[in-house]
Amino acid sequence: MQFIKQYIEDNKQRLLDELFELLRFPSVSADPKYAPDVLKTADYVAGKLTEAGADNVEVCKTAGYPIVYGEKIIDPSKPTVLVYGHYDVQPPDPLELWKTPPFEPTVRDGKIYARGACDDKGQFYMHVKAFELMMQTDILPCNIKFMIEGEEEVGSANLATFVKENKERLKADVILISDTSMISMEHPSLETGLRGLSYLEVEVTGPNRDLHSGVYGGAVANPATILAKMIASLHDENNHITIPGFYDDVVELTQAEKDALNSAPYDETQYKQDLDIAELWGEKGYSTFERTGTRPTLEVNGIWGGYIGEGAKTVLPSKANAKISMRLVPNQTSEEITKLFTDHFLKIAPASVKVKVTPHHGGEPAVTPTDSVAYRAAQKAIAEAFGKDPIPTRGGGSIPIVALFEAELGLKTVLMGFGLDSDALHSPNEKYDIFNYYKGIETIPLFHKYFAELSK
């Protein structure tokens, strides 16, 4: 392992510079005006895979943004690790809240500030550099395949097709993904579960046009008020979701599992201070970790209606809209929950308005068994790189394709991420610690080593 650290030390500036170059591409998949940039990013990634020593590198066309593929087959009888990542990023807005421009990576206090620094460029690029390291030091123990897509932030709409049409090419023994976080560098951890996702847009329409609130106010239902009432009704006084049937398929943790989960360090004062809030909020009867990792939730991601510009306008709006998403846990399914929400939301709408519900992309929850070869390989790799065993955690976020991989390729996924909760994913001033970047490059070759050993 010393030579691994040495390689990183000898190449540390270049390892950073290449990542910065990658971060400069504004590969925002959600907004069509960035399309040329997204495509250029794919080419850059392909080039870097080739430079690192990959064969059969291809920028694979899809109906949307391309998927970058590359591989190194050293011996068909060896296990194969399939690395998944994504080169697209979240939209950067609101721009005015960034201290430095989102696509001009800037280092402050040992952290790289840029959109995508952690989610997911900093994280997947560690695997490209770890691959280069293993090739350069001639220690590659497993076959390795890369599948880096460009539409994760908008639902990976074309990934399923690609996976189904490339089952041979993608044959492997495990999928390795770095797109999650650890508790801290002092308390390394491994994600053992991800929540699923159901995402919908709702539109409440009252009158067929904006009205003068003096002329009509009091006689006509205001869609903003009605939407507020409908949203308000979705959580009861215990912050329990009121959609009928919502919790039917939820698997409760055993007491032992809860104890393990809650054994992770947790400083509630620090948690609240970091967010500058006086009080937490959540489902009665559950701890913070249980609430974010093991319980399904419902959030309003966006809400708008009426006049929202400068100054005052006394309008009774025609419409009010919201984007609402739910995080799911086993054994809820995205399709069932989307249906339950839609039916319920349409049902609670009063007759004085019309309601439309439009589902967006969804994703299934997933749990990785801790007794698998893949999990144990990751556990050993982290124990060696960090000097202590990783704590098993349950992640709040969703990576919907994990269930897709299991269904289509029959493969379990190991979620070995090196991010931190403070990385501000999806927010302004997203960052990734330089320490974590190098630590990941150091740990990944150890995963490959132990996966090969434990697979024998």
Based on CB atoms, which residue is closest to its own copies, 157 or 260?
A: 157
Does the protein bind its own copies through residue 190 (CB under 8 A)?
Answer: no
Tell me the per-residue interface mask from 61 to 90 with its own copies, x by CB under 8 A, - otherwise: -----------------------------x
Q: Which of 38, 22, 10 is closest to 126 using CA atoms?
A: 22
Which one of residues 41, 158, 297, 368 is an interface residue with its own copies (CB under 8 A)? 297
187 binds its own copies (CB under 8 A): no
Closest CA to 65 of 32, 93, 92: 32
Which of 310, 369, 387, 456 binds its own copies (CB under 8 A)? It is: 310
Q: Please tell me the distance from the alpha carbon of residue 121 to that of residue 98, in angstroms, as a whole number.
A: 19
Does 277 bind its own copies (CB under 8 A)? Our answer is yes
Q: Is 425 in the site for its own copies (CB under 8 A)?
A: yes
Q: Binding marks (x or -) toward its own copies, 241..270, rule CB under 8 A?
A: ------------------------------
Place of tokens 């032992």: 256
Residue 405 as a binder of its own copies (CB under 8 A): the answer is no
Out of 63, 186, 218, 387, point to the residue binding its own copies (CB under 8 A). 218
Residue type, 238: N
Under the binding rule (CB under 8 A), the answer on residue 278 touching its own copies is yes
Instruction: Output the CA–CA distances (angstroms, integers) from residue 65 to 41, 207, 253, 336, 430, in the order listed.
Output: 10, 40, 39, 29, 23
Q: For tokens 């979620």, name the residue.
A: 415
Residue of 35, 74, 135, 228 interacting with its own copies (CB under 8 A) = 228
- Say whether residue 204 binds its own copies (CB under 8 A): no
Q: How far is the CB of 452 from its own copies (least distance, A)?
A: 32
**Token pair listed for 134:** 């293993």
Backbone angles phi, psi at 149, to 5 degrees: -100, 175
User: Does residue 87 contact residue 124 with C-beta atoms inside 8 Å?
Assistant: yes
Tokens 């897709």 sit on residue: 404
Six token digits for residue 147: 């599948």
* 120 counts as catalytic: no
State how far the Cα of 158 lies from the Cα of 44, in Å rounded to an integer. Answer: 20
- Least distance (Å) from its own copies to the CB of residue 256? 22
What residues between 118 and 157 interact with its own copies by CB under 8 A?
154-155
Least distance (Å) between residue 405 CB and its own copies: 19
φ/ψ (deg, to 5) at 67:
-110, 130
Task: Spell out the residues 6+ positions from residue 21 whose beta carbon is closer than 8 angstroms to its own.
Answer: 44
Shortest Cβ 88–its own copies spacing (Å):
12
88 is catalytic: yes
For residue 346, state whether it binds its own copies (rule: CB under 8 A).
no
Query: At 364, is the secondary structure helix, strand, or coil?
Result: coil
Q: How far apart are CA 206 and CA 267, in angstroms?
A: 46
Distance CA 371, CA 376 (A): 7
Taking the least distance from each CB to its own copies, the nearer of 70 and 92 is 92
Contact range with its own copies by CB under 8 A, out of 53-61, 75-83, 248-256, 311-319: 311-319
Site membership for its own copies, residue 323 (CB under 8 A): yes
